[in-house]
Structure 1
Amino acid sequence: MAKSSSSSTTVPDTVWLGRGRHLGPEAEQDVRRNLIALKAAGVIDDFLDLDPIEAARSTDLFPRDESADAGPSARRVFEARWRVADGATVRAQLTTFGAESRRVGSEGVTWALAAEAEQAWEASWPSPATVFWPDSDRVPWDHEEVPGVRLRRANHLPKDDGDLRRLLRSCSRQSWFIHVVVHEAMTPDARGRRPITAFLPPSLRHRVVEHRATPEQALIADFAMKRELRVGLPRGGAVVLPPTPQIPGYDSERFTVRDVFLDGTEPTELLQKIAEFASLPRPLPAGAEQVLTRLRQGWHLLTPDEELVHARAMVTKYAKALEAMTASCDLYREAAESALAALAEATTGDDASRAPSPVAAEQDASPLKTLTKTLALFRNPNR
C-alpha cells in the first residue's frame, strides 16, 4: 500500500477520509448488498466482511500496534479493493461502531472510512462512500455526526441564534467534512433548491456539507459566523467555513463568493473555491489517525502476489525464531554441562564418596537443580 511522506499529523494526498452515521435499521446489511452488487458488476476487485475480533486475531502476523485495532465498540470491519481509471489500486476499510462510540443523544450506527490509493487522490475517481454505501436517498448512511446535518442535501440553518452558533462550533470542531454556507438572496424554486454539491466531482461530492441560510437569515447568520468563526456571509453569496484549528493557507476572502445564483445552473466560481480549499494540506481530524493506521496495519484483503510475499516473509520470520530458540537451547545445554563438570571436579578425591550415583545424577539432571547444589557445595565444602 502506498505510504505518503507527509507528516503523521497531516492528511496524506493519497488518502480519502469520511465519518458519519447511518440511521437505518440494517447498516451492515446495506454495506454487504452494495459490495456484493459492485463485485458482481466488476466495479471492485474484491471485498471482505470481518468480525472485529476475527480481524484483530488474523492480523497478529502483521507488524502493527494497538491503534490498528478497531476497538471494543466496533461492530463490523469491511474492506474493498478496486482500481481507478489509470490502473492505480485503491484499498479502503469501513468500520461500523456500536453505541459506546456515539455521543450522548445521537442515534444510529457510527461509521468511519479510510481509503488510500497508490498515487495522489483524484477528485474524478469514484467516491469511496458509494463503494460501501448505496448512493440512494432511501439508505440514510449520510448523516453527519453533528445532529440534523446530512451530506447529500442542502441543510437549512437553525433560526435560533444560540442553536445556530452551537451548530457552527460543532461543524468546525467535530466534523471530518468541508462545510459551505450559501445565502439564498430570494426563495429559490425547485431547481435552485437542488444542492450545489451535486455539481462536484464524485470523490469530492461526499466530502462536502452544504448549509443554506434563508433570505431573512442574512444578518443573523453573518453575525453568528463572524462571532464564532471570524468569517462573513455576503448577502446572496457563499463562504467555505474554516475548521478549528484553522488550516494554513486559509483566508476568508480567498474562499468567499459574492454572488451565487440558485437557478439550477452550475455555480462555477463556488465549485472552484471548494476544490481549491480541498487541495490545501489539512491536519488529521480527531480520531482519523487511528482509522488510517488501522487501514495500513490491519489490512486483510491481500492479492495473490501479496499473499505469496507475506507467506515468504512469515517463513523467514519463523526460521529466524527457530534459529534463535536452537541457539538458546545450545547455550542452556552448555551451561548445564559446565555445571556438571564443576560438580564432578568438586566431588573428586577424598569426597568421592559423596558424589551422586549415576542413577541419582540421571534423576536430578535438571541444570537449575545442578547449579543450585554446586553453589551449595562451594558455600559449605565440609557438609
Structure 2
Amino acid sequence: MTTDELLALLTLQRVRNLGDISAKKLLRVFGSAEKIFNAKPEELLAIEGIGKFKISDLHNPNHKEEAKEELEFITSNNIEVRYFKDSNYPENLKHCIDAPILLFQRGNIHLENKRLISIVGTRKATNQGLAFCEELIEKLAPLNPVIISGFAYGVDICAHKAALKNNLQTVGCLAHGLNQIYPKTHAKYQDEVLDYGGFITDFWSDSNFDRKNFLKRNRIIAGLSEATIVIESAEKGGSLVTADIANSYNREVFAVPGRTTDKFSKGCNNLIKSQQAHMLTCAEDLIYLLNWDLESKPTKKAPELFVNLTEEEEKILATLQQGKTELDELSHRVEIPTFKLVPLLLNLELNNLIRPLPGKIYEVI
C-alpha cells in the first residue's frame, strides 16, 4: 500500500456518518480510497445504500489534516497497519461484516494457522473464576492456542498473564489508540505482551476513553477468534455483549456455569440456559466441541446398532446423513424450532450418532 493510499484510507475513516460497512462497500466498487475522493457525487450516490447523508462530510478538509497527523504517529512509532483487502489482515475478521477497514497493531502477532480463542469476563472476578481461567489456559497450552482478550481488569488480565506464564501468544484488543495503555496499572505487562504477541486496535491515537469505545472494541475480540469463552459475568455486562457479537458472527460461545446465587455467574448461567453458549466445565469440553487434537483423543466406541429414537430424532438423523448441516438450516429442514432441536441433538450426540462442529454445524459420525 502506498503512503498516499494509506493517507486516503485514514481520511476515509474520519468521515462522519460513514461506518466500516459503507466504507468497505465504496472501496470494493472504486478499488481505492483515493478514487473515492476523486469520484463525482452522482457516481457515489449510484451505489446502493450510499445516500447524501453518508457522503455529506466526505470532503471536509479537516479530515485530511487529522489523517496526516495520525500517519505521522503511525510512521514514527513503527505501527503496523493491516488493510481489510490485504492478505495479512486477520482471516477470521475478514468474514465479519462490520470489521474495520484498517487495524493498527504493535508487537509480534502471528495469527495464521493458529487456534484462536477469546477469553472475557467480569472486571470483578472472583478467586474461583481466576483459578478456572488459569487452569483452563494451562490445560490448553499443549495445543498452543493464541489467547485474545481486552487487557482490562479481572478475567482479561488474568487470561493474558496465564498465556504468558505458559509461553503462549496473547493479543490485547484495545479500546483506544496505541499511544497509551489502559488501565495504567497494566503497563507493567506491556513489554512481555509485545514479546509474546501484541496489541490490536482500530482506534486512533487521539481516541478518548468512552464506554461506547469499549463496546465497539468487543467486535474485534469476538471477530478474531473461532470461539469466545465467558468465565464470569453479572446479569448485564460487556462480556455478554461480546458473546452476543460472537453468536452473530456464527462463532462458538462457551460459558462457565456457577451457582444460581452467585452474582457473577448469572450472566453465564443465562447464556447456557438460553442456548446461546455451550457449558464449559473443563478444557476437555472446549477441545472436544472445537474438534481440536482429534488424533490424540481416545477412540470413541462404535455407535450402538439398536438405539431407540423418537420419530423426530430419526428425522434429524436422516437429514444429517445427507451431509453436514448448520443448526438454523437443520431446524428449517426438519421443521423443528431451534429450542426444541438442541436437546434432541444432544441426545443423538450422547448416543454417539452425531457430533457438533465449529460454527454450530452437525454431522453424522
RCO higher in 1 or 2 (8 Å CA, sep ≥ 6)?
1
Q: Between Structure 1 and Structure 2, which shows a larger proportion of helix residues?
A: 2
Q: TM-score, normalised by structure 2?
A: 0.25
